Amino acid sequence: MMTISEFIENYREAFGDAAPLPVALAYDSAPATDVRPVPKCMIGAISKVRNGEALTLSADNVLCGGGGLYTAFRPMPERVPVFVSEVEHYKKTKEMVIDYVDSLKISLSDKPYLNFVRADNLESWDDAEALIFVATPDMLSGLCTWAFYDNNDSDAVTTLFASGCASIITFSVNENRSCGRRCFLGMLDPSARPLVPANELTFTIPMSRFKEMLTTMNDSALYQKAFSALKRRINNV
């Protein structure tokens, strides 16, 4: 499999230096850094990992009820279905919220820490559950094109109802552990969006799929004429 340094070299060749490196997420028995307090919504803290500083989440510093659920540290609090349906109006009824969460089949983590580390600070791919790319529309064009290269499935890239944290954690972890091939477009949650730049979404690739995509990267359209024009725009040249 392509090494981390090889991937970064190829990624830079495809997207240029202006594109932020992806962030790996992994459950572990040891924290990657100090377990520091985080704001009630963890998305702001996660988005800062692209600057190079690791983040460790645990049951102690994930304060949001939904966040505790979607990081698999705690069961869903009883108040969440009512909050999502009657306060946020993201679902029509609380029963719809309960049914949806039940369908996700979230299993509580048997490890106490969830680490987020930028790709260039990883020692290996071994324990990663997924790679999170924070991407502009031009970057998403390249990432989706790469994902579609060897996958004709209608859900090769998919968007599901989710909080910001579920869209980057829950779906990708479940997909990786079931050896799935879907990539996830996320950060459409109105509550989380103020914590990320206005022109960015997330594109999360579970490791089960990322390992496949590493073998197709150099043959995909990322290095062809059409995407080279977008590369120049991503890098303002």
For 47-84, give the DSSP string. Answer: HGGGGT--EEE-TTT---HHHHHHTTSSPPPTTHHHII
The model's pLDDT over 79-131, given as tens digits with 9 standing for 90+, comes to: 999 999 999 999 999 999 999 999 999 999 999 999 999 999 999 999 999 99
- pLDDT of 12 reads 98
* Reported confidence tier of residue 47, pLDDT bands at 50, 70, 90: confident
- pLDDT of 39 reads 85
Which SS3 state, helix, strand or coil, does residue 112 take?
coil
Buried b vs exposed e over 126-144: b needs ≥16 C-beta within 10 Å?
A: eebbbbbbbbbebbbbbbb
Residue range 199-226: mean pLDDT, rounded? 97
Residue range 6-25: mean pLDDT, rounded? 98
- pLDDT of 226 reads 95
The model's pLDDT over 127-156, given as tens digits with 9 standing for 90+, comes to: 999 999 999 999 999 999 999 999 999 999
List C-alpha distances in Å: 56 to 24, 97, 132, 165. 12, 28, 15, 14
Task: Judge whether residue 40 has pLDDT over 90.
Answer: no
Q: What tokens appear for 69 in the block?
A: 């659920």
Residue range 189-213: mean pLDDT, rounded? 96
Residue range 48-67: mean pLDDT, rounded? 94
Percent of the chain whose predicted confidence (pLDDT) is above 70: 100
Distance, in Å, from the CA atom of 202 to the CA atom of 173, rounded to the nearest integer, reads 15
What φ, ψ does residue 234 adopt, rounded to 5°? -55, -35
Task: Judge whether residue 237 has pLDDT over 90.
Answer: no
* Reported confidence tier of residue 235, pLDDT bands at 50, 70, 90: very high
Q: What is the pTM of this model?
A: 0.96
Residue range 171-185: mean pLDDT, rounded? 98
What is the identity of the amino acid at 53? E
Domain limits, the chain: 4-73+108-234, 76-107
- pLDDT of 1 reads 84
